[in-house]
A = this chain, B = another copy of it.
Amino acid sequence: MADPSVENQVNGQAEEDLVNPWTVSSSSLKGVDYDKLIKKFGSAKIDDGLIERMEKLTGKPVHHFIKRGIFFSHREMHMILDLYEKKQPFYLYTGRGPSSGSMHLGHLVPFICTKWLQETFDVPLVIQLTDDEKFLWKDLTVEETIELSMKNAKDIIACGFDVNKTFIFSDYDYIGKCSEFYKNITRVQKLVTYNQVKGIFGFDDSTYIGKISFPAIQAAPSFSSSFPHIFGGNKKVPCLIPCAIDQDPYFRMTRDVAPRLQYLKPALLHSSFFPALQGAQSKMSSSDPTSSIFLTDTPKEIKNKINKYAYSGGGATVEEHKEKGGNLEVDVSYQYLRFFLDDDEKLEKLGNEYKSGELLTGYLKKELITILQELIADHQKRRSLVTDDDVKQFMTPRKLNYNY
């Protein structure tokens, strides 16, 4: 898995950050070196100029995920803004691999940003649930992955997407309903060689053939504009994909084949990884429950996990902390506050006081626990109101509502 990794200098030694759709790890407590990742992947940094342009065109401030650099990298976002400026259409595409019934905090990040983009730009959205991928990669049956899709769909719907503008689909369900989807999958599969996916995804000769051809299935929804029942068949409508940067290899491949299929290349907005409770060397992962705060956790579980596991950037003793101050870059509670504390002023104040040694990690944890207890209780309340009928509505192939 050579290609998607980046080098990261730690303690004078050359160490590798590993970033691909299946593994994210860094030897640095600060996590992945994102500037190096941008260079390695060949994407562009979300800079002040882009943010100013977004704010000017939409007439509102960007989401704090973008302002604070949580979404930090992009491909062709200016092309999307050009279209928006000319009142020409684009759509959003994002997804989730339903490997577990309970999603965690990190899984919310792309969906929160996608919801903000849908509201801000007033555009349609397709969300892919790759149940087939999880069947191929995990020790799960087809039926189990389909059940996980349905559970995850409820959590996604609870994020507040507009049912008139949003189509959620699971691969197993949608491929069996729409010949056009499978046709586009084979069109991509006819343009990508084993050599290419070996280079991009690190497959080898012992890889199962389902995995080898899967990247085309994640690529295909980038060409949803040609589906008559979704967008009316206009091939020249591109998509914008908000996703964590570990998914970029799929879309580099997609961008490579797009012109050969007479489609426009998808644009991307890349987020950084949501750190594990134990620190930014790995991302939060459902397969390690002690690393994760789940959307199903109780207030007590949230409190206990943060108090017990959240990696501290504070001094070894109170005296040392007061003298040297806390390390914001590695403190997991502070990092989580960057994601979920909306109030910029308060975040800055907490940061400064922690850095100076005035505040202890315990205080940051207390603030974070309150915020997450509220966030997750709100989510659980909204999710409890999502019915099977709502899921059916969101997952029915139909023409989405939009003005172009």
Where the two chains meet, the residues of A that have a C-beta atom closer than 8 Å to any C-beta of B are 132, 135-136, 142, 172-173, 175-183, 186-187, 189-195, 197-198, 203-213, 215-216
CB pair B208–A190 under 8 Å, yes or no, is yes
CB pair B210–A190 under 8 Å, yes or no, is yes
CB pair A186–B216 under 8 Å, yes or no, is no
Contacts of A135 in B (CB 8 A): 186, 190
Distance in angstroms between the alpha carbons of A84 and B193 in the assembled complex: 45
Contacts of A213 in B (CB 8 A): 189, 209-210, 212-213
Q: Nearest chain-B residue to A217 (Cβ)?
A: B186
Centre residue among A180, A182, A198, A209 by max chain B CB count within 10 A:
A209
Q: Nearest chain-B residue to A132 (Cβ)?
A: B186
Centre residue among A172, A190, A191, A208 by max chain B CB count within 10 A:
A208
CB pair A208–B183 under 8 Å, yes or no, is no
| CB of A118, distance to nearest CB on chain B (Å) | 28
Interface residues of A, dominant DSSP:
helix
Centre residue among A136, A194, A216 by max chain B CB count within 10 A:
A194
CB pair B210–A186 under 8 Å, yes or no, is yes
CB pair B190–A195 under 8 Å, yes or no, is no
Neighbour of A186 across the interface among B142, B181, B207, CB < 8 A: B142
CB pair B187–A182 under 8 Å, yes or no, is no
CB pair B181–A193 under 8 Å, yes or no, is no
Distance in angstroms between the alpha carbons of A240 and B240 in the assembled complex: 49
Neighbour of A206 across the interface among B177, B194, B207, CB < 8 A: B194
Neighbour of A173 across the interface among B132, B179, B208, CB < 8 A: B179
| CB of A370, distance to nearest CB on chain B (Å) | 44
| CB of A263, distance to nearest CB on chain B (Å) | 14
CB pair B189–A195 under 8 Å, yes or no, is no
Distance in angstroms between the alpha carbons of A267 and B154 in the assembled complex: 45
Distance in angstroms between the alpha carbons of A198 and B204 in the assembled complex: 12
CB pair B192–A209 under 8 Å, yes or no, is yes
Distance in angstroms between the alpha carbons of A124 and B211 in the assembled complex: 34
Q: Nearest chain-B residue to A195 (Cβ)?
A: B205
Contacts of A172 in B (CB 8 A): 179, 182-183
CB pair B186–A176 under 8 Å, yes or no, is no
Distance in angstroms between the alpha carbons of A183 and B224 in the assembled complex: 22
Contacts of A191 in B (CB 8 A): 208
